[in-house]
């Protein structure tokens, strides 16, 4: 069950593929943000989703909305995944799963991230959410539709 619309997004600081680390409250203050949580680098569904965000990235960049992918993979694995698929956005390493858990994006019994995407407004409140484990490309489409409103 994802965080409901209107919820204040939990703050976090995570290691990032190109930027050292990212803090929601410090580095992204006053910015709308896309956070997409996904199970694992290099799996078919996650690769499809990441490549869809890559292919539609220009639309988010035009709106000045950064995109961040978050999973429990290590930073080294993220860096390989990002390079292999030429991803133009940051991947954040949540190896402990704490951030996934605070965003209700962790499958309880197996402690693996589920597939959920959040659009946070400039005050970091949840403006939109799309929760669909098997709907890889639909996450991007849902966020773009929200941004058109």
- For 116-126, the pLDDT digits (tens) are 999 999 999 99
- Beta pairing, strands 112-113 & 20-23: unpaired
CATH code of residue 134: 3.40.30.10
Residue 25, SS3?
helix
Is residue 134 very low, low, confident or very high in pLDDT (cuts 50, 70, 90)?
A: low
- 55-108 residue pLDDT tens: 999 999 999 999 999 999 999 999 999 999 999 999 999 999 999 999 999 888
Kindly state whether residue 36 falls inside one of the protein's structural domains. Answer: yes
What amino acid positions are annotated as catalytic residues? 46
Kindly state whether residue 51 falls inside one of the protein's structural domains. Answer: yes
User: Hey, what are 55's tokens?
Assistant: 């292919």
Instruction: Give the DSSP letter of residue 3.
Output: P
Domain count within the chain? 1
Is residue 109 very low, low, confident or very high in pLDDT (cuts 50, 70, 90)?
A: confident
69: exposed, middle or buried (C-beta count within 10 Å: 0-12, 13-18, 19+)?
Answer: buried
pTM: 0.93
User: Hey, what are 60's tokens?
Assistant: 């988010």
Kindly state whether residue 2 falls inside one of the protein's structural domains. Answer: no
Taking 90 as the threshold, does the pLDDT of residue 141 lie above it? no
**Residue 120 domain boundaries:** 13-148
Kindly state whether residue 6 falls inside one of the protein's structural domains. Answer: no
Kindly state whether residue 66 falls inside one of the protein's structural domains. Answer: yes
How far is the C-alpha of 84 from the C-alpha of 106, rounded, in Å?
26
Residues 6+ apart with CB under 8 A from 135: 115
**CB-based contact 9:3 (threshold 8 Å):** yes
Kindly state whether residue 57 falls inside one of the protein's structural domains. Answer: yes
Kindly state whether residue 7 falls inside one of the protein's structural domains. Answer: no
């Amino acid at each position: 069950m994802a965080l409901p619309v209107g919820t204040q997004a939990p703050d976090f600081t995570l290691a990032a593929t190109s930027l050292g680390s990212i803090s929601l409250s410090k580095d992204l203050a006053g910015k709308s943000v896309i956070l997409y949580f996904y199970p694992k680098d290099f799996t078919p569904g996650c690769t499809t989703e990441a490549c869809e965000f890559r292919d539609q990235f220009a639309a988010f960049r035009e709106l000045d909305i950064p995109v961040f992918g978050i999973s429990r993979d290590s930073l080294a694995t993220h860096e390989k995944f990002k390079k292999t698929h030429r991803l133009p956005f940051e991947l954040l390493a949540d190896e402990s799963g704490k951030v996934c858990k605070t965003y209700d994006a962790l499958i309880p019994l197996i402690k693996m991230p589920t597939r959920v995407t959040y659009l946070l407004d400039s005050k970091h409140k949840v403006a939109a959410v799309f929760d669909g484990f098997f709907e890889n490309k639909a996450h991007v489409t849902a966020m773009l539709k929200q941004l058109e409103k």
